[in-house]
Amino acid sequence: MSKTLTVRYFASFREQAGIDEETVSLTANTARDVFELLRKRHRSAEPLRHCKVAINDEMANWDSPVDDGDTILLFPPVAGG
């Protein structure tokens, strides 16, 4: 069943997608599913292993379940300091 999700992009992801946020309807169970589906849609080459995800402003992991109405934050590889 497809879920309606708000997805936010940051830094390089925002530049690749050309938007900072979108509402999408996806058949996805986990954060990993969301990443992979949107990665194809936005033709991103960034491998998942260096990226991070948050769901509704909580740090999550790629196996975290996504629910209808969730806001998914996709973080490209971080580089603080």
Partner 1 sequence: MMRVTSEVIRPDELREQLNDPGAGAYASFEGWIRNENEGHEVRRLEYESYEPLAMKEGQVVLREAAEKFPILKVECVHRVGMLEIGECAVWVGVAAPHRDEAFAACRYVIDQVKVRLPIWKKEHYANGHSGWVNCERCAAHGHIPDAEAVGR
Contacts to partner 1 by CB under 8 A: 10-12, 15-16, 44-47, 50, 52, 54, 57, 59, 73, 75-81
Q: Which residue has the tokens 């986990």?
A: 30
CB of 36 to partner 1, least distance (A): 15
Nearer to partner 1 (CB atom), residue 66 or residue 76: 76
Q: Based on CB atoms, which residue is closest to partner 1, 24 or 48?
A: 48
Pairing state between β 71-75 and 58-60: unpaired
Name the minimum Å distance from CB 15 to partner 1. 8
Sorted by sequence, the CB contacts under 8 Å of residue 54 that are 6+ apart come out as 60, 72, 73, 75
Closest to partner 1 by CB, 29 vs 32, is 32
By 3-state DSSP, what share of the chain in percent is helix, strand and coil, each rounded to 5? Answer: 25, 35, 40
